[in-house]
Structure 1
Amino acid sequence: MIGSPFHVLASVDSTNNYATAEVNAGIVTSGSAYFAMEQYAGKGQRGKSWSSVPGENIILTVVLQPPLTLSQQFMLSMTVALAQHDFFSKYAGSETAIKWPNDLYWRDRKAGGTLIENILRGSQWQYAIAGMGININTPHFPPALVNPVSLKQITGKEYDSLALAQELCTFLDKRFNDLPLIQETVLRNEYKSKLFRFNEPGLYKIDGEFFTGIIRDILPSGLLQLEREGKLLELGVGEVEFVKTT
């Protein structure tokens, strides 16, 4: 069961690093969760950092043994994103969305991010290290951050971030247990139904050039299919930037 055992760490460089070390030491089981009160060298997508005031937000990593092949990696990414959507929308409501590939959004603002790192043994996908950072109680963000939002800003309420992290594990557990039973197309269709800007015009940037595009599909590989001036582009993570317009 995801969240059993549930480890609470006072301070750590990165929960993903800590969990990976536990796996490499052979002292971890699938479902183990690591929650940090403080993370001083958190990792985000494409080498970005992620920081948080101690105890304020969810800083959580879970160790998973996916019942999938390496060619099905995006199914796990969608599963984790949908579980976070299930959790956050319970409190923030129907304006919760998933920004491709697996960011957590509310309206057009970022509420959380995910970094999944894989541990392989030869060609075998042994473990996935799924790290999640979700803004819970942050009242104000640094001006340099473009579009962040916290659950407290949305609802006006203060939360117990540790208790919410444990609750998030129950949503992850349900989605993960359903994974061997669900067809890829069914999972992907549900993912697309929650997707930020799906089939809606939006502003994007590629190689410094701004343009209006429309997300038309997400391919089984996880590539984004973006329509630009009547042509369909297939883009990977880091190849296109979503531009905030409000």
Structure 2
Amino acid sequence: MIGKYFNVLDSTDSTNNYAMARLNEGPVAEGTAWFAMEQTAGKGQRGKAWHSPPGENILLSTALQPALPLTEQFMLSVAVALGACDFFAAYAGDETSIKWSNDIYWRDRKAAGILIENILRGSIWQYAIVGIGVNINAARFPEQLVNPVSLRQITGREWDAIELAKDLCQHLDRRYRQLVPGRFEELLEAYKSRLFRFNTPAFYRKDGELFQATIRDVLPDGKLQLEKESGDRMDAGFGEIEFVFAK
């Protein structure tokens, strides 16, 4: 279903914005995907920009209609992150992981980001616009990006970004079809099995405090549960904690 209707755009400000405009015009078939050769104002999480030279990378959005209550929206993020991780691991290998909540990492470097924006009609979750940016052929990145990596840098070869985007749609579709009541625990366990730094001591920052902790769990509502060196456990919601990387 995802990618059955696959549209290629020469240029747009953001594929998520483009998808949002099409949905505001009227109904769109679920799973319709929009791929952009160029974004002039790509969006990442928490208002960050997503940088990509024209034609080099996957810039993709798809419109989904999850048959879930809003209270379960983290499970959509889980399914999408697993699909993106499955896709990248198929080309880059088993060192691919999911950095909470839904970035895709290779070793300790960021390969892809996901941004999910919702359209609500009252309490009805009408659409979820899933935007995914994957570094495919980029050889250089802006200096302000801390730890990016591309598939080309990992494998030493160039790829057809459009064909890989269609393959990404297939991986997303497989995980999306698992998003049914009764399988949430299975999906969450699969997510934790691919989680970056899971059960590994590392450094984090919260409210200006630098501390060492170990990720012990991800709760059904999406909160990250960490264990500090003292043995105390703490929960962190989205945007509340920063992963610290060695320079």
Higher mean alpha-carbon deviation, 105-114 vs 20-29, is at 20-29
Asked if the contact 1:3–1:166 (Cα under 8 Å) also holds between the matched residues in 2, the reply is yes
- Counterpart Cα distance in 1 of 2:81 and 2:50: 18
Task: Specify the alignment match of 1:47 in structure 2.
Answer: 47
Task: Specify the alignment match of 2:201 in structure 1.
Answer: 201
Asked if the contact 1:77–1:102 (Cα under 8 Å) also holds between the matched residues in 2, the reply is yes
Asked if the contact 2:178–2:187 (Cα under 8 Å) also holds between the matched residues in 1, the reply is no
Tell me by how many angstroms 1:178 deviates: 2.0
Question: What is the RMSD of the two structures over their aligned residues, measured on CA atoms?
Answer: 1.0
Task: Specify the alignment match of 2:149 in structure 1.
Answer: 149
- Counterpart Cα distance in 1 of 2:83 and 2:162: 17
Asked if the contact 1:100–1:195 (Cα under 8 Å) also holds between the matched residues in 2, the reply is yes
Asked if the contact 1:13–1:40 (Cα under 8 Å) also holds between the matched residues in 2, the reply is yes
Asked if the contact 1:203–1:245 (Cα under 8 Å) also holds between the matched residues in 2, the reply is no
Structure 1-normalised TM-score?
A: 0.98
Higher mean alpha-carbon deviation, 224-233 vs 161-170, is at 224-233
Structure 2: 5+ residue runs without aligned partners?
A: none
1:234 and 2:241 matched: no
Task: Specify the alignment match of 2:131 in structure 1.
Answer: 131
1:114 is aligned with what amino acid? Answer: I
Deviations 1:87-127 (A, max 9, x none): 00000000000000000000000001000001011101010
- Counterpart Cα distance in 1 of 2:170 and 2:194: 20
1:177 and 2:177 matched: yes
Tell me by how many angstroms 1:27 deviates: 4.3
1:169 is aligned with what amino acid? Answer: C
Tell me by how many angstroms 1:134 deviates: 0.4
Task: Specify the alignment match of 1:159 in structure 2.
Answer: 159
Alignment of 1:1-246 (within 5 A): 1-180=1-180, 182-228=182-228, 229-245=230-246
Asked if the contact 2:201–2:213 (Cα under 8 Å) also holds between the matched residues in 1, the reply is yes
Tell me by how many angstroms 1:186 deviates: 1.2
Report percent identity of matched pairs.
Answer: 61
Counting matched residue pairs gives: 246
Structure 1: 5+ residue runs without aligned partners?
A: none
2:244 is aligned with what amino acid? Answer: V
Asked if the contact 2:192–2:198 (Cα under 8 Å) also holds between the matched residues in 1, the reply is yes
- Counterpart Cα distance in 2 of 1:156 and 1:145: 21
Q: After TM superposition, where is structure 1 displaced by more than 2 Å over at least 4 residues in a row?
A: none
